[in-house]
Amino acid sequence: MALREAAGNTVRETLANSMAQETSRDIGPVVLLGPPGAGKGTQAKRIMDRYQVPQVSTGDLLRQNIAQGTEVGCAVKAVMARGELASDDLVCEMVRQRLRQPDCEQGYVLDGFPRTEAQAEWLDAFLENTVFENSHPENSHPEQSHRFSSKENPSSKSHPRVTRAWPIVIRLDVDYNQLLLRITGRRSCPTCGRIYNVHFQPPAFDEVCDVDGSKLVTRNDDRLEVIQPRITAYQEQTGPVADYYQRSGRLIAINGDQPMDVVTEEIFRILEGHRTENSVIEDQRA
Ligand code: AMP
């Protein structure tokens, strides 16, 4: 009995592992757009868990730099505290270094990047020149899709893969009043990173993490006086990013006012659509 159970567990583990590989292999880059408080961080973490790809949050990277007192951190601290955007050069260089890490080879979720049209252009150039080959935004037909460069991804020699070079861009649209409640109510655990909202998803005990008991914290830029400049920065500087992707037919908008789980389901459906398409491409080439 114990043996059969153990065998069952092994089968389940093997299945889970192969599903994880299956889902992670062709997701490619995913961009989550949306104003502060739209739920990008929460959804990015869910994509990360489901597809086994890292979340690359420029806000988190910058906050880490500030906490560690790096040169980058010192350069952005005051700008971030005012709710303004850090410079394109600094952020792009930080992203370039992060995307070159091996855990990004099979895809990643960009959360909070690109935030300006210049960053979106930079990302396209980066994808074209560094990570993928034969890239062109108009090439949406399977036969013209793109292959990971074997130089960038040595494992592709033994298991050739065809995947999307261009990001799947998903924008979460949220009502303004809802945004304010989400931002002012947001708390996070400094230990495990879990995010709560005192209005919608409170912890079991006031201001304490359910997972590890740490005292929850409010982000420095979630203060009421900083929220308006952040939303203005989003409207003025990140609005054109959506236009940029819309022009090339790559923008998918989702109603972010829906319950979080419904938004997640919609996102997974979108990603699965691309995954199915990519699997077909792979089968044809095998
Ligand atoms: P977030 O956590 O995404 O809300 O970002 C927090 C803050 O980090 C923003 O208000 C900006 O000051 C800065 N920041 C994050 N991502 C970017 C980016 N892509 N470009 C410029 N500044 C950024």
- Region 240-259 average pLDDT: 94
Q: Is the preceding peptide bond at 114 cis, omega within 30 degrees of 0?
A: yes
User: Which percentage of the chain shows pLDDT scores above 70?
Assistant: 73
- Collapsing DSSP to helix, strand or coil, 219 comes out as coil
pLDDT tens per residue across span 40-67: 998 999 999 998 899 999 999 999 999 9
Q: What is the CATH number of the domain that holds 221?
A: 3.40.50.300
- Region 81-106 average pLDDT: 92
Q: Long-range contacts made by residues 255-263, C-beta under 8 angstroms, separation at least 24? A: 255/173, 256/34, 256/38, 256/39, 256/172, 256/173, 256/174, 257/173, 257/174, 257/175, 257/178, 260/39, 260/42, 260/43, 263/39, 263/43, 263/172
Residues with CB under 6 A from ligand 1: 36, 58-59, 62, 79-80, 83-86, 91, 112-113, 115, 119, 221, 230
Q: Is residue 62 part of a domain?
A: yes
Distance CA 36, CA 231 (A): 7
91 within 8 A of 58, measured Cβ to Cβ? yes
Q: Is residue 8 part of a domain?
A: no
Give the residue numbers spanning the domain of 274: 38-285
- Region 257-278 average pLDDT: 85
Q: Is residue 146 part of a domain?
A: yes
Predicted local distance difference test score (pLDDT) of residue 15 = 42
Alpha-carbon distances, residue 223 vs 69, 81, 273 (angstroms) = 22, 9, 39
Higher pLDDT, 179 or 12: 179
116 within 8 A of 235, measured Cβ to Cβ? no
Predicted local distance difference test score (pLDDT) of residue 193 = 86
Domain count of the chain? 1
Is pLDDT above 80 for 14?
no
Q: How far is the CA of 58 from the centre of ligand 1 (A)?
A: 6
Write down the mean pLDDT value for the chain. Answer: 79
Predicted local distance difference test score (pLDDT) of residue 133 = 34
Q: Is residue 244 part of a domain?
A: yes
Would the pTM count as exceeding 0.85? no
Q: Is residue 20 part of a domain?
A: no
Distance CA 158, CA 166 (A): 24
Query: Out of 85-94, 140-149, 171-180, 198-207, which region has the weakest mean confidence (pLDDT)?
Result: 140-149
Distance CA 17, CA 30 (A): 22
pLDDT tens per residue across span 168-225: 999 999 998 888 898 999 999 999 988 899 998 899 999 999 999 999 999 888 888 8
Predicted local distance difference test score (pLDDT) of residue 276 = 52
* Amino acid identity, position 67: A
Q: How far is the CA of 121 from the centre of ligand 1 (A)?
A: 17
Using the 8-state DSSP alphabet, how is residue 175 labeled?
-
Q: Is residue 44 part of a domain?
A: yes
Q: How far is the CA of 32 from the centre of ligand 1 (A)?
A: 13
Query: Which residues, at least 6 apart from 75, have a Cβ–Cβ distance to it below 8 Å?
Result: 86, 90
Count CA atoms within 13 Å of residue 57 on its CB side: 17
Q: Are strands 168-173 and 251-255 parallel, antiparallel or unpaired?
A: parallel
Using the 8-state DSSP alphabet, how is residue 172 labeled?
E
Which residue of the set 50, 187, 230, 275 is catalytic?
230
- Region 161-167 average pLDDT: 59
Count CA atoms within 13 Å of residue 245 on its CB side: 27
Top mean pLDDT of 81-85, 134-138, 195-199, 251-255 is at 251-255
Predicted local distance difference test score (pLDDT) of residue 279 = 45
Predicted local distance difference test score (pLDDT) of residue 223 = 84
User: Which percentage of the chain shows pLDDT scores above 90?
Assistant: 49
Q: How far is the CA of 275 from the centre of ligand 1 (A)?
A: 29
Phi-psi region of 83 (alpha: psi -120 to 50; beta: other; left: phi over 0): left
Q: Is residue 124 part of a domain?
A: yes
Which residue of the set 63, 161, 186, 194 is catalytic?
186
Q: Is residue 161 part of a domain?
A: yes
Nearest ligand 1 atom to the CA of 87 is: 21
For residue 45, indicate whether it is catalytic: no
For residue 40, indicate whether it is catalytic: yes
Predicted local distance difference test score (pLDDT) of residue 62 = 96
Residue 105's pLDDT band, with cuts at 50, 70 and 90, is confident
Is pLDDT above 60 for 285?
no
Nearest ligand 1 atom to the CA of 95 is: 19
List, in sequence order, the alpha helices (H) in 57-127: 58-68, 71-81, 88-99, 117-126
